[in-house]
Amino acid sequence: MHVLLVTPPMTQLNTPYPATAYLTGFLRAHAGPLGVTVSQADASLALFLRLFSAPELERMAGVLETRSRRRNREPMPASIAQFLEHAPRYVATVEPVIRFLQGRDSSLALRIVGRELLPEGPRFAFLAQAAAAGDDPLAAAFGSLGTTDQARYLASLYVDDLADAWRDGIDPRFELARYGERLAASAPSFDPLEEALLGEPTLVDEALDEIARELIGEHRPAVVGLSVPFPGNVYGAFRMARAMRAAAPNAKLVLGGGWVNTELRALREPRVFDYFDYVTLDDGERPLLNLLARLEGRGAKLVRTYVRQDAGVTLETDPAQHDFAARDTGIPTYDGLRLTEYVSVLEMLNPMHRLWSDGRWNKITLAHGCYWKKCTFCDVSLDYIGRYDRPSTDVVMTRIRALIAETGQTGFHLVDEAAPPAGMRALAKRLLEERLSITWWGNIRFEKTFTPELCDLLARSGCVAVSGGLEVASDRLLALMKKGVTVAQVARVTRAFTDAGIMVHAYLMYGFPSETVQETVDALERVRQLFEAGCIQSAYWHRFSATAHSPIGLHPEQYGITLKPPPNIAFAHNDVAFEDPVGTDHDFLGFGLRKALYNYMHGAGLDADVRSWFDAPSKRPPRQRRAAVPRTTVAPDLIARALAE
């Protein structure tokens, strides 16, 4: 029996999403005795490469030109007008540019930075505006030496212009890192998704249908597993399943992955099974192995697997069966993925964002789940956070060596929810003892275990960056969210990382239950001081949302909020709407927070009163805006004093 594991579109383009690599390694280690063979494919990369090819751009130009003529050339979005005006140049340059972004034609850099080769659309407009104001952001970011980086940045803007044209002109659901996301994120009803699936196909749909049929022809699978990490992969997964079912009616189709694990826990919608035969919850290893054994006629019981029964949906599970321990899940393998074809875009000049979108990273975990598992906004009741299981450092080292041997790459991204400090220390020591040179980074909790001595050890072993949650930079709210850290402690820990030469990115949050305007302003002041003191180099504000499986979603009364009555949920369920009697206008504050952060990351505005960021364009009259944003109550030397302690 042959199993094909697929990542549906869209995910990041610079490196494979790891789920199929993990499952392929696992099945090759455990499913051989069943006579199972396994291959994997990244349909996200395949779709991108197809849409960004000369023939598909020609098709897009034809469709848009015909539509424009039919509408008597009435005004159109700037992205489409730009594309149509320069379509032959886009068609001529797209494939060389993609090869350049794949690292397969570096000589093109000199022509790209000459600014004559590529058509420059709306995404380049800010460069012209800056030039008119006497600024040169490219020179500021890359100097005179960074030709390749500068060319990659310009080529990425060019790709963004084309992605905008695909979205505005052909398929409003298409984006570079997500596809049809709104149809699936916390969607209580299946209707909008099915309507889209049954509607007139766009050129993007047709390309994806074609890719699905090609995969069936190439791999001839008896079973296809589609792993859906995010809402932005769901439409693509269902679309591919439909095309695959038509091409191979006897193949069994299985849906699983991170989105299923969080959002389909209350699945009641039988129409899902028009597309898939099985839907598995939580780690896929055990459910998939048992399902394959069942399909091979071994009489195995299903584990955490939804099936259609009569006109309804049943979750079949055998409580006697356990998940595999993290040490026994095998060695992840990228075998079968086209590693040389991934595309490194460079969209942000921020160095931490570059790590996410730039370069090929082998993905590895030090442990399953989170060792802390207490944060009240987090899905701690679900298996992927709540079941902590750390394999030995021997196992981790074996996997690292195997991935280096397979890929030739020594860059590793630890994809732990929060990497355990003990595991990081042990890994660093072994890397140094065995003189294995790798570059690695990952997500942590800013806890006090990270002393200057440990940070130094991590840096010497190849750790180059960490990210972690400072969330709302307020000790009252950090305690309410059971983060287990204080602002002063985060200042000392992040400074220790920075002093060791490890870049630090902080996840920030606003809109937490009971958060007042004063607390938001004070949190921004603390963040300002952290940037000023060189503790953090990069950060991002997330708007808080309550989720169904977090302590806040499960016990809202303990946080002073009331959940709004839920809709009738038959399909996806994750975010829950709530009322907060404090009534802070978080929408208004969010704009100022993001603007401040953008400037701080570029080293600008660090001496400005934090209130000034909230004087942004707003529908409110200026006096009301000023009145809504009070002066900070934080001492100007708060972080400096914390660091001196």
Residue 136, SS3 per DSSP: coil
88 Cβ contact partners less than 8 Å away, ≥ 6 residues apart: none
Residue for token pair 């595309």: 343
Q: 399 and 393 in contact (C-beta within 8 Å)?
A: no
**Contacting ligand SF4 within 436-465 (CB under 6 A):** 445
Q: Which of 470/593 has CB closer to ligand SF4?
A: 470
Q: Which of 388/591 has CB closer to ligand SF4?
A: 388
- Using CB under 6 A, pick the residue from 279, 345, 418, 552 that binds ligand SF4: 418
d(CA 291, CA 284): 10
Shortest distance in whole angstroms from residue 282 CB to ligand SF4: 16
- Using CB under 6 A, pick the residue from 279, 385, 431, 466 that binds ligand SF4: 385
382 part of the interface to ligand SF4, by CB under 6 A: no
Shortest distance in whole angstroms from residue 484 CB to ligand SF4: 8
Q: Which of 221/420 has CB closer to ligand SF4?
A: 420
Shortest distance in whole angstroms from residue 418 CB to ligand SF4: 4
Q: Which of 127/554 has CB closer to ligand SF4?
A: 554
Q: Which of 388/598 has CB closer to ligand SF4?
A: 388
Shortest distance in whole angstroms from residue 229 CB to ligand SF4: 16
Shortest distance in whole angstroms from residue 353 CB to ligand SF4: 20
Interface with ligand SF4 (CB under 6 A), residue total: 12
- Using CB under 6 A, pick the residue from 417, 515, 522, 580 that binds ligand SF4: 417
Shortest distance in whole angstroms from residue 550 CB to ligand SF4: 9
The string of DSSP letters for 434-478 reads TT---EEEEEE---TT--HHHHHHHHHTTEEEEEEEEESS-HHHH
Q: Which of 399/445 has CB closer to ligand SF4?
A: 445
Longest Cα separation, the chain: 74
One-letter identity of residue 239: R
Shortest distance in whole angstroms from residue 497 CB to ligand SF4: 16
CA dihedral angle for residue 363, residue 365, residue 371, residue 374, rounded to 10 degrees: 30
Shortest distance in whole angstroms from residue 485 CB to ligand SF4: 9
Q: 112 and 151 in contact (C-beta within 8 Å)?
A: yes
Q: 588 and 631 in contact (C-beta within 8 Å)?
A: no
Q: Which of 380/561 has CB closer to ligand SF4?
A: 380
Q: Which of 61/539 has CB closer to ligand SF4?
A: 539
Shortest distance in whole angstroms from residue 81 CB to ligand SF4: 44
Alpha-helical regions (H) of 220-357? 234-247, 258-263, 285-295, 351-357
Q: Which of 294/373 has CB closer to ligand SF4?
A: 373
Shortest distance in whole angstroms from residue 375 CB to ligand SF4: 3
**Contacting ligand SF4 within 322-381 (CB under 6 A):** 370, 372-375, 378, 380
CA dihedral angle for residue 101, residue 103, residue 104, residue 110, rounded to 10 degrees: 70
Shortest distance in whole angstroms from residue 377 CB to ligand SF4: 7
Cα distances (angstroms) measured from residue 264 to each of 268, 402, 417, 512, 548 = 9, 34, 21, 25, 11
d(CA 189, CA 211): 28
Q: Which of 43/506 has CB closer to ligand SF4?
A: 506
Structure token digits, residue 324: 């595999």
Q: Which of 248/470 has CB closer to ligand SF4?
A: 470
15 Cβ contact partners less than 8 Å away, ≥ 6 residues apart: 342, 359, 360, 361, 363, 413
The closest of 471, 508, 470 to 491, measured between CA atoms, is 470
Cα distances (angstroms) measured from residue 424 to each of 421, 444, 466, 485 = 5, 10, 12, 19
Which residues form the interface with ligand SF4 (CB under 6 A)? 370, 372-375, 378, 380, 385, 417-418, 445, 469
